[in-house]
Amino acid sequence: MKKIAFLFPGQGSQSVGMGEALYREFDYVRELFDMASELTHMDLARLCFKGPFSELTLTINLQPAITVINLACLAVLEREGLCPCLSAGHSLGEFSALAAAGVISPEDTLRIVLERGKLMHREATGHPGAMQAILGLTIDAVSKIVSVAAEAGIVSVANHNSEKQIVITGAPEPVAHAGALAAERGAKAIPLNVSGPWHSELILGAVDEFEAFLNTVAFSAPAKGKVLHNVTAASEPDPQVIRSLLAKQLCSPVRWYDTMVAMMGGAPDLFVEVGPGKVLTGLLKKTLPREASKTIFTVNDLQSFEAFFKVV
């Protein structure tokens, strides 16, 4: 049996129509959507399949929407008896990774992301911010720029996505200042169309409430492979520590590049992006060494699943 690593996307991978083919093909996917819609009091099928995009991308809606698609794709894999040796998820996607490892149930996964979305929306509404992608500089260079810009207000690293793709977050003016400093050093600084300053101190007010909510949910030790966490880029066997890491993740950088390096150390034969879009596939291709013989798949529709099942 080949060793497979699962990667679960988060916000930014959405598109109207995502998951519709799986919904029409598999009764268990329809049952998953029904359960998710009942739990969240949202018509997730309509939201995912029909949009509109502006409604879909609101974080309070998007977190359950992305997660139900991730879980639907995971269910198709599990029906074929596939189990990961390693899993990781980008920000929101980390909760789907925990479901894949058996740490939390699908029902609790959806309850958690619904609460997370509500809390993040509340904090972002009260503390407006901005995010920019910085392309072309290392994490050390961007960290130095952020330190300078932070003298004028809240700004920090949100995501270290690949060696030279880093997202910054915080209050609008210091984020703009940091982007301008990066551009002076030859980088591209691209403002992102997001609904909040994710992974910044501006949403710190959500952390304690979110951790308290997590303490009401049953967590188990990982039973189906290890999960690499955003905050540490390492695995963790203790359910209570996992809860703490998930709460810290709200305002901590997503160490995705370090996570992918650590995942490569586990020597999986295949990497599979499980969910909508191809964002993580693109980042992984930037991180894998050119001579690596790994195979990367994205599974989110009938054609991609068919292609993947031919090689496992």
Q: What is the pLDDT of residue 293?
A: 55
For the chain, the domain total comes to: 2
Q: Are residues 120 and 260 in the same domain?
A: yes
Long-range Cβ contact pairs of 27-30 (< 8 A, separation 24 or more): 28/75, 28/79, 29/72, 29/75, 29/76
- Asked if residue 219 lies in contact with residue 104, where contact means CB atoms within 8 angstroms, the answer is yes
Query: 161 and 105 in one domain?
Result: no
Q: Is the dihedral of CA 33, 8, 166, 152 positive or negative?
A: positive
| Domain end call among 144, 168, 195 | 195
Q: Do 143 and 101 reside in the same domain of the chain?
A: no
Query: Residue for token digits 């292609």?
Result: 307
Q: Are residues 120 and 37 in the same domain?
A: yes
Beta-strand relationship, 165-170 and 155-162: antiparallel
Asked if 216 and 112 sit in the same domain, the reply is yes
Q: Enter the tokens of residue 296.
A: 């990367």
DSSP per-residue string spanning 85-117: SEEEESTTHHHHHHHHTTSS-HHHHHHHHHHHH
Q: What is the pLDDT of residue 195?
A: 86
pTM of the model as a whole: 0.97
Do residue 218 and residue 284 come from a single domain? yes
Indicate whether 94 and 219 sit together in one domain. Answer: yes
Give the pLDDT confidence score for residue 291 in this predicted structure.
Answer: 66
Catalytic positions are: 91, 199
Q: Are 208 and 101 in a shared domain?
A: yes
Q: Is residue 133 located within the same domain as residue 109?
A: no
Encode 283-309: b = buried (16+ Cβ within 10 Å), e = exposed. bbeebbeeeeeeebbbbbbeebbeebe
For residue 222, give the CATH number of its domain. Answer: 3.40.366.10
Whether the Cβ atoms of residue 287 and residue 26 lie closer than 8 Å to each other: no
Nearest to 63 by CA among 162, 210, 242: 210
pLDDT of residue 25: 98
Three-class DSSP category at 242: helix
> Can you tell me the distance from the alpha carbon of 151 to that of 229, in angstroms, rounded to the nearest whole number?
30
Same domain, 29 and 143: no
How confident is the model at residue 231, as a pLDDT? 98
Residue 138 belongs to domain with CATH number:
3.30.70.250
Report, as ranges of residue numbers, the positions in the chain whose pLDDT lies below 70. Answer: 291-294
Token couple for 164: 């030279």
Q: What is the pLDDT of residue 249?
A: 98
pLDDT at 138: 98
State residue 289's pLDDT score: 80
List the domain range (segments joined by +) for residue 294.
4-125+202-309
Domain boundary among 195, 220, 238: 195
State whether 214 and 288 are in the same domain: yes
